[in-house]
Chain A
Amino acid sequence: MSDSKPIFGFWVYLMTDCVLFATLFATYAVLHNNTYGGPPASELFSLPFVLIETLILLTSSFTAGLALLAARRSNKTQVITWLAITFILGAAFLGMELNEFANLVHEGNSWQRSGFLSAFFTLVATHGLHISIGLLWLIALVVQIVRRGFTKSTVQRLTMFGLFWHFLDIVWIFIFTFVYLMGAN
């Protein structure tokens, strides 16, 4: 992590985002048994599917880190390649998540079904929304790097994006553990 002020400011933003996710986790923890006669977590989720999602997001976090390292060596082709791989993995993760949501809604288990499902959709979709914004940011970042090369501001933005992406990976690990793994029993 760099000691620059804008990056510290971004770190402070990430920590406040942590608090946002904490409130959603707390809501989920309180409501996770309130199924209102609907299906509980153990009947809804497919663990192998979610494991693949998790590994995809984890790998994209790793490739985002490799893009940062390549930027430190000022290797433009490598940075763009790693960012493109990060984008593809992130999009695959988002696609899988939307597919899971579509199946749940299709089977009548939408956020309107029970308190448990409202909390589930709010928590997981807020993470998905962050991923979507991250993907848009990634496109803008690649365009800037292609056009301007490694200026002070593009490298700074790349560093911030890396922090953002790693942060989302950490949040997902907790969703994977508390929602999916614990919900399976």
Chain B
Amino acid sequence: MSSYATGFVLSILFTITPFMVVVNHLMTGWMLIFTLVGFAISQLFVQLIFFLHLGRESKPRWNILVFSFAALVVLIVVIGSLWIMNNLDYNMGGHEMDEYIIKDEGYEKNR
């Protein structure tokens, strides 16, 4: 009981706080993004520990192992997609982007 109740209270706290930050425009830019991501990840761990009871199994810890591998794949998929698509955007921006790249990098790119 206490585990679920603790998780529930913390989850509500980690939901309402970022909501208030956004609604009251307390932060902007990267600061806001880092804060929101921080709250989401804190809540992820709260629910993993208090609701899913991850880490309470006995050895060998297969659940944690599978979870860690899934987390690795998720990070590669998300960060990799953003990285590649961002780069593609930069290199395929058309005529104006070409001029920007020539100025930015100091050389003409091969087309």
- A and B from one complex: yes
Residues of A in contact with B (beta carbons under 8 Å apart): 1, 3, 8, 11-12, 15-16, 18-19, 22-23, 25-27, 29-30, 47-48, 51, 54-55, 58-59, 61-62, 65-66, 69, 163, 166-167, 169-170, 173-174, 176-178, 181-182, 184-185
Secondary structure of the A side of the interface? helix
- Whether B51 pairs with A30 at a CB distance below 8 angstroms is no
Question: Are the CB atoms of B43 and A19 closer together than 8 Å?
Answer: no
Q: Mark B40-55, 1 if CB is under 8 A from A, else 0.
A: 1001100110011110
Size bracket of the B interface: 35 or more
**Cβ–Cβ contact A177 & B4, under 8 A:** no
The B32-75 residues at the A interface (CB cut-off 8 A) are 32-33, 36-37, 39-40, 43-44, 47-48, 51-54, 56-58, 62-63, 66-67, 69-71, 73-74
Residues of B within 8 A of A (CB): 1, 4, 7-8, 11-12, 15-16, 18-19, 22-23, 28, 32-33, 36-37, 39-40, 43-44, 47-48, 51-54, 56-58, 62-63, 66-67, 69-71, 73-74, 77-78, 80-82, 85
